[in-house]
Structure 1
C-alpha cells in the first residue's frame, strides 16, 4: 500500500515532468528542425531528421554575416548591462540609505515606471532621439539604461536594505568616503543580485528586436535584426532561420549555466528583504 506522502511525491514528479516537457518542446522543435531540409520540415515537423544537415548552420552563418552581427550584439548587450549595473546599484544604494520622504517618492517613481509599456512612448522617444541624431548604437544603449533601470533598482534596493547600516558607519569612522564605502564594501556584497540583474538584462537585450529595429542601421544590426534576412515577402527559409536561432541562443545559454546558482538567490534577496 503506497502512503499518501509517496502518492503526492509521484503525482508531483509526473506533473513536473509534463510541465518540463511542455516548456522544452519549443527548443526541441527549433534544434531538430535546424538539421532538416526545408521540404522535410513541412513534411513532418515533429520527427527527427532523416539526414542531419550541418550545412544549414554553415549557410546560416554566412547569410547572417554572423560574426559581424554577433559583435554588434555583444557590444550593445555588454555596454548596456554594464551601465545598468553601475548606475542602478548606485541609485539603489543612495535611495536605501536616504530615509527622507523624497527618497521614497523617487523609489516609487522608479518602481511605477515598470508598468509603462514601451509601445506607449515608442514614437515620441524615437522622434526626440532622431532630432538629437542619436539613432545609433550609443542612443540604443542609453535607451536600454532608461528601460532597464526600474527593475534593476527595485532588486538592488531590496538587497541593500538587507545590509546593516553599521558597516557604513564603521567605515566612515575609519575615514572612508561614501564612494569608497559603496565600491569596496557594499557592492561586493551585492554579488548574487548583480548576477541576477545581469542575467535578466542580458536575456532581454540580447533577444530584443523592436527597439533595435527602430534605432540601428543594417550595418550595426544585431542578431535578431539579421534573422529577418530569412523571411522574405514570398518565401521563408525556415531551415536556415532555425539554424541561425540555434547559433544565436548558445552564448546566452552558456552564460546562464555558469551563473544559474545565483539567480534564484538574488531574486529572493532583492524582492523579500
Structure 2
C-alpha cells in the first residue's frame, strides 16, 4: 500500500512542479506592481525588480487624490452594475424567446447575433462617436451602458441559448397548468435554473466592463465622468510618467474586483461547477 502511495506521489510530482512554476509566472507581474507602488520613482527606474528599501504609502495617497478615486470608483461601479443587469435581463429573455418560440425568423435573428460577434469594435467606434457626437449625446453614463448592452448581448444570448435548450419543457408546462403566466414561468422557473451560466456571464462581463478603457475614453469626455481605467491613464503624460503613483492606482483599481470575487466566491465556484455538470 505504501509503495502504491509513493508511486502515485512521484507521478504527480512533475505536475505539481509545473503548477507551481505557472503560478509563479502569473503572480510575478502583480508582485512587480505591488513592490513598485511602494517605491519612489528613481528607485523604480534604477531597479524595478528590487524590493523597496522602506515601505512608503505616499504613492497611494497621491494616486487616491490625483485620480479622484471616490468619483472614479462610483462611476465605474454604476456603469458596471447597470450594464451587467441590462445584459443579463435582456439576453436571458431574448434567448428564452428564441428557443421556445420556434419561428423561422428567430433562427435568422440568432444567426445575426452570432455573426455580429466577429465584428471588431474598432470598425464601429468612429461612426458611433461621429453620430452620437453630432447629436450631443456623448459624456453620458447611460449611453455608455447602452453601448455595453449592445456589444455584450450577443455572447450572453449565445450562452443562454445553449443552456435553455437543455431545460425540460415539462417544467414550464406544469407551471402553466398551475396558472402561471409566461413572465412568471420565466422568472420563477427558468431563470433560477440559469444560475450557472449567469455566474459565468457575470464574471466575464464584470472583468470586461470594469477594465475597459477604449469605449469610456470615447464616450466620457469630462473629468467628473472618468472611470478608474481612465483616471489611471492620466498618470502617464507626454514628457513625464509617475510610475509609482500609476502602480498604486492599479492596485486601487483591482481592489474592488478582488473584493467582488471574495464576496461572490462560493456562488461563482458553485455556478461554474453546476455549469460543467450540465
Give TM-score scaled by structure 2 length: 0.91
Match status 1:157 vs 2:179 = no
C-alpha separation in 2, matches of 1:98 and 1:68? 45
Asked whether the 8 Å contact 1:155–1:267 carries over to 2, the reply is no
C-alpha separation in 1, matches of 2:174 and 2:22? 50
Structure 1 residue corresponding to 2:26, chosen from 23, 26, 39: 23
Structure 2 residue corresponding to 1:252, chosen from 238, 251, 257: 257
Secondary structure, in 3 states, of the residue corresponding to 1:230?
coil
Q: How far apart are 1:263 and its partner, in Å?
A: 4.4
Larger CA deviation: 166-175 vs 250-259: 250-259
C-alpha separation in 1, matches of 2:182 and 2:92? 13
Which ranges in structure 2 are unaligned for 5 or more consecutive residues? none
Query: How large is the RMSD of aligned CA atoms in angstroms?
Result: 2.1
- Which residue of structure 1 aligns with residue 39 of structure 2? 36
C-alpha separation in 2, matches of 1:215 and 1:130? 9
Question: CA 1:182/1:198 → structure 2, altered by over 3 Å: closer, same or farther?
Answer: same
- Which residue of structure 2 aligns with residue 238 of structure 1? 243
Structure 1 residue corresponding to 2:120, chosen from 117, 120, 127: 117
Question: CA 1:198/1:108 → structure 2, altered by over 3 Å: closer, same or farther?
Answer: same
C-alpha separation in 2, matches of 1:151 and 1:50? 47
- Which residue of structure 2 aligns with residue 169 of structure 1? 173
Q: How far apart are 1:132 and its partner, in Å?
A: 3.2
- The number of residues matched between the two structures is 273
Which ranges in structure 1 are unaligned for 5 or more consecutive residues? none
Provide Cα deviations, 1:15-66, integer angstroms capped at 9, x if missing partner: 1111111111111111111111111111211121111111211111001111
- Which residue of structure 1 aligns with residue 132 of structure 2? 129
Give TM-score scaled by structure 1 length: 0.93
Q: How far apart are 1:233 and its partner, in Å?
A: 1.0
Secondary structure, in 3 states, of the residue corresponding to 1:133?
coil
